[in-house]
Amino acid sequence: MPESRSTVKLAESIAELKSAEPPSHIAIIMDGNGRWAQQRDLPRIEGHRRGVNTVRMVSETATELDIDTITLYCLSSENWKRPKAELDFLMHLLEQYLIEERKTIMEQGLRLQVIGRQDRLPSEVLKQMKQTIEMSAGNPGTRLVLAVDYGGRDEITSAVRDMATKVASGSLSVDQIDENTVSQHLYTAGLPEVDLMIRTGGDMRVSNFLLWQLSYAEIWITEKCWPEFSKQDFVSALCEFSSRQRRFGGLNVNE
């Protein structure tokens, strides 16, 4: 059976991306799980469950395209305001993901990392998180970073507190504090700068996500909710990124 036009187009787009310079670090706000479910008269938790398939697709595609780092906004510090039943399910889903995806993580050579607070996470989630991180630490492929109980303002506040403590102890002087110093005290220390931020669900905001790191990131937003975000959508975002001119506050030669 002949390949469909969409399949051929996707293959062509991927081939073009492989010959271009990919973004080093893609950050994704995975929004719209609950709305997707409610639009289909399903419980909100079903949207979160279906969203795991999209996570798998994104990590597979990132591996295929040699993307260095993918950071996924899994749970914000504000999400604790949600109903307890939904939060309990999200914790269960995270624990399940950390266990069931180990084989895929190892096959794809992914390196799992987690950023955010850990003092409010269940002990069993932390146990499975630690095991999966340690198991994948030596893998050579894409870094898959999960932002769990993460808030950008909280991250920056924590970095300021750490630097203030060092100044008070004499191990860091005020004159030594520059942008690089701040970056080294963030959860993302050692990761490349974010080049592209993708948001599903249509909202036009960054929602307290990687506030420092998104300073010069390109932004791509789709109305599609996370469970329906396809490989074609992901590739389309990368293709648009590759076509944009990034000035970083300067001018292009011809301007």
List active site positions.
31, 79
Question: What pLDDT score was predicted for residue 1?
Answer: 41
Nearest to 91 by CA among 105, 80, 106, 78: 80
pLDDT in tens, 194-241: 999 999 999 999 999 999 999 999 999 999 999 999 999 999 999 999
**Cα 187 from Cα 13, distance rounded (Å):** 33
Average pLDDT estimate for 178-206: 97
User: In the CATH hierarchy, which fold is given to the domain comprising 23-151+192-242?
Assistant: Undecaprenyl pyrophosphate synthetase (3.40.1180)
pLDDT in tens, 70-104: 999 999 999 999 999 999 999 999 999 999 999 99
With 0-12 CB in 10 A as exposed, 13-18 as middle and 19+ as buried, what is 64?
middle
The predicted structure's pLDDT at residue 29: 98
What's the mean per-residue pLDDT of the chain?
93
With 60 as the cut, is the pLDDT of residue 2 above it? no
Q: How many CB atoms lie within 10 A of CB 246?
A: 11
pLDDT given at position 184: 97
Which sequence spans correspond to the domains of the chain? Answer: 23-151+192-242
